[in-house]
Structure 1
């Protein structure tokens, strides 16, 4: 207790030195939290945007469908299965889809496309498909018309009001053919989707493929995409072996690899940042140690043991580090909160580049608790490790030499 009191009095005996040391720690914590928050915020938003393009966070298929995507591996519409999935407290809705490749044709041109039967009103809850309409109108369940992606419409030289011919293979090998008016044109940020997609109301698609009351997938809407792995495992345990439950990491392996690579790069970036921060803090510790050599020499000369003096110095560094880390964290909370509510929007060429790749030109910030406490702990540990320097100096200190400096 005596050492604690002595250390506390010592750090405030020279307030200028204490505030300089604390300021370096505060700045380090603040910088680390801000950079990590924006990096994680951008990655999380990228993940949410890409998942909401088409796949959704979780899908349920017939077991084996993902290895062989054919209509023969479709499932019968089941109210009991949908009820079971939606009964999970974190699943908002389960929407049905009927997907198959076919040949899209106009008067002069043909191209392979992905034909998707959807529940128009429910589809908007997962992918906001109605907001992607750039010409014409969005389809309804009772319509006998289609939505065509912009890239495919340009290739086929078709527009709203024209007729699209679809030719393919239906359920159990039957022929599938039909011609439908184009009600609307949609634009995807993803170039691949923008060149291949045709949407039909579910009943019309089932009629085209002679797949009455059948689905190839149930797409689940959840609030937080980051919880998809956990929810997928929970649903797998409660769902029949007849079905396979897949999260977005399996559905979109390329996206998962990109995100993992970005996070790995972030670790390297933070390591370099921590090295710079460590040198900054070490500079203040070195200054403090040199300034106090005479003081250390006097204390040892009058009988204070090196070990006791070292203990007091360690306690001083712990107190300063704790105060600096807490102050840095408290300052970061309102700043991150502000940027979380009002994210930074970029402009100019960088804005166009982001939009071309299908991402919002906005720097989002994350408010995940881990960002705050993890950075604070790391900076605190760095400060403690650097306190070894004054300990080594005290251990080898010679009182007479120290008092001459």
Structure 2
């Protein structure tokens, strides 16, 4: 088989990457010295310097060199024009579905593509496309189902093999992963990849985060207004809800009149269009969390209670936020919010925080302080900004009662270690 230069350019990235990865995994000097030689004659198939420079030089070598190198890596190479066309068709159909958040249809389309591409499991380039389709499908099925950190770095390292819509899909997933995890990864992703001119609408929405992190809010608003026009033209109410929620968050401390205007627009969409229960739940949950962060606790309670009427998908986290908002308003927590026995509707940290509120009234002031410092703080991650804020304010209120602030100093010291994790 003769390979096109386009396919060889994919191999120029993948072969050096997998070679280095195999060397790191094996930590075996003998493997390093001998594995890339012909077994019988001990003649170099491709020298280390050539392997390492393939990507940098973007050189295309003889087809048999690629074949032998792939074999040594335990991989196969096989270029299929037929499958190039099929993959292009899949992404063409996928993007409009993703733009309108038709997730069930997205999952179905990706699942069919994954099933059809099983023969490419170990083929360089097509195997990576198969993997990309798998991880996006799994994420859309269950948003807590994410790849490992090593796999994130792998996708980041090989992202150059993807072109057009495949590239947009890869950087979409890189952003999603980084946004779910630590801030440093988000910083890296936003400054490595350009989201502004992507074919995928979600990527264009992500692009405003660069300016937001630089506190260039006028640019955020300008870009958001441009996206809003496109969404109105295409009657994309689902993404308009996402955009309006984001604008409410930004405008809350800048222009309350404009914020009220966008909140009214958001509520108008909810009242006058066919919005799915899941989209409605996510919108109310996001609004409740925004108002919690801005310390507007009455609005926070209003929207979180509406979210609970629709779904119990994030029951414990929702209950924790409601309990916290009641405390900040100096209200007594309604009993129904501390009587939950269904511990499956939340993760470990949700449950640990929930137990703080469940037993709050039966513990002493000092016992509640100790619970925050000894039970909650050690399991917090640096990206748990919501719970960090909640626990810090709860601890401060407890300290205020006795006018003793020693626990706050302990909190600050231990929090530094959490942020360094």
**Fold shared per TM-score above 0.5:** no
Larger strand proportion, structure 1 or 2? 1
Q: Which has the higher contact order (CA 8 A, sep 6+)?
A: 1
Larger radius of gyration: 1
TM-score after normalising by structure 1: 0.22
More helix by share: 2
